[in-house]
Amino acid sequence: MTPPPTAAPAAPAPVALPNAGDTRAGRRVPPATGGALVLVGMLLVALNLRAAVTSLGALLDEIRDGLGLSGVTAGLVTTLPTIAFAGLGALTPWLVRKVAPARVLVVAMFALALGQVLRVLTDSTWVFVLTSALALAGIAVANILLPMLVKQHFPHRTGLVTGAYTMALTVGTTVAAATAVPIAHAFGSWRAGLGIWAALAALAVLPWVPLALRTRAAARRATPTPRPVASARIRPERTRLGWAMAIYFGAQSLSGYAIMGWLAQLFRDAGYQPESAGLLLAGVTALGVPIALLMPTVAGRLATLRPLVLGLTAASALAYLGLAIAPHSAALLWVALLAIGQGAFPMILTAIGLRSRTAEGTVALSAFAQSTGYVIAALGPLMVGILYEVTGGWTAPLGFLLAALAVQTTAGMAIARPRYVEDE
């Protein structure tokens, strides 16, 4: 992301943020290591941020049969990510003020691995839901931490590193969606196709263990120093820009999680075999890889985000209409248009940095936009599941997604012009 201009009205003095070597309030220690290990760790974490969600979406039909889930319960399961991301995402800034980010990520990735293992070992619907929530708690914390780590460790390469970890996130999403069903069939159970991703989460723990240990050792050697006094706290919830960002983030996440949770089922109902439906779902994220890599650079160079907002809206609208009218005959076209429309996700992540002047502003805006946005997004998979159960078809669910797209576009126009949360 391109740093915002410095010639602007003076913003409030920022509160010092914890870096990789900060531990508790009032104690500051040197960074634990160089940027290379941090970057590798970030990319491995990003690979995990959607795999547990899209693998469930690809295998939703088998899971419903295996656990006896109703349509409403399946909708609840596919809504869990947004509920977890909203609740725990809001607590993450407070958490990293108390504990070093490396140590937080060790626990987060361990929770993700453990939750994914436990949920495939049960025959109970509610144990499945609770262990899924444990796994998603780890993802929720990492969602907020990654933009913060970019700002701390790569302040002059934010666009490049944001694009890299967003691309890694997209790759993980794609691979999980494409291979969950074949793995399940190869092992004769949906449990294998869903549980194998625990190994990827365990791998993501490894870079953060030495970082956490070095941070802890450095903290023991450190001498406490006076804590900087904050002259003001940035509160995005009191600004129009903060709410516009939250609504846009929420509306695009609403459609994104609805697609991840239900698109494979839509293609199955249209006549595709389970493997083909999973591959079509994977196609949405696979085509999104170059978009995720390039979007931060493109957005940072534009004077206004309006062309991107309107272009992404047009692609999504055409995709929804096409899926309602001819889901089978032109599936590849709708997948391509959905992939373009889902470029709203890397765009809004980029916009969080573009619409804040300081590191504190970035963290505050990220936490508010994501936590509030995921509350909105929780309606997506749940409403799609309810409408699908009630109507027995896809016209009503797709109509709901078109209505959400209209809200998203309105909020997008509000964040399109250059402005900064600190100024408001």
CB 381 within 8 A of CB 257: yes
The pLDDT of residue 359 is 65
Select from 2.30.110.20, 1.20.1250.20, 3.10.20.30, 3.40.50.970 the CATH code of 36-219+236-416: 1.20.1250.20
- Give the length of the chain: 424
Cβ(201)–Cβ(48) under 8 Å?
Answer: yes
* Side-chain half-sphere exposure of 170, counting CA atoms within 13 A: 26
Print pLDDT tens along the chain (424 aa).
344 443 334 334 443 444 444 443 334 434 433 488 889 999 999 999 989 888 887 888 888 888 888 777 777 777 777 777 777 777 777 777 778 888 889 999 999 999 999 999 988 888 998 999 899 889 988 888 887 788 778 877 777 788 888 888 888 887 888 889 899 999 999 999 999 999 999 999 999 998 888 776 666 655 454 444 444 577 888 889 889 999 999 999 899 888 877 898 899 999 898 888 888 888 887 888 888 888 877 887 888 899 999 999 999 999 999 999 999 989 999 999 999 999 998 899 888 878 877 767 777 788 888 888 888 887 888 889 889 989 989 999 999 999 999 999 999 999 988 888 777 7
Please count the other Cβ atoms lying within 10 Å of the Cβ belonging to residue 127.
14
How far apart are alpha carbons 134 and 329 in whole angstroms? 40
pLDDT at residue 76 in the model: 77
Spans of all domains in the chain: 36-219+236-416
Token representation of residue 335 = 């997948």
Distance (Å) of CA 414 to CA 205, 243, 355, 376, 417: 39, 10, 12, 18, 7
Give the global pTM. 0.72
- Whole-Å CA distances, 339 to 76, 288, 409: 25, 5, 17
Long-range contacts: 302-309, Cβ < 8 Å, 24+? 303/418, 304/416, 304/417, 304/418, 305/347, 305/351, 305/412, 305/415, 305/416, 305/417, 306/413, 306/416, 306/417, 308/343, 308/347, 309/347, 309/409, 309/412, 309/413, 309/416
C-alpha dihedral over 121, 122, 123, 125, to 10 degrees? -130
Backbone angles phi, psi at 270, to 5 degrees: -80, -5
The pLDDT of residue 190 is 93
Helix, strand, or coil (residue 227):
coil
pLDDT of residue 341: 94
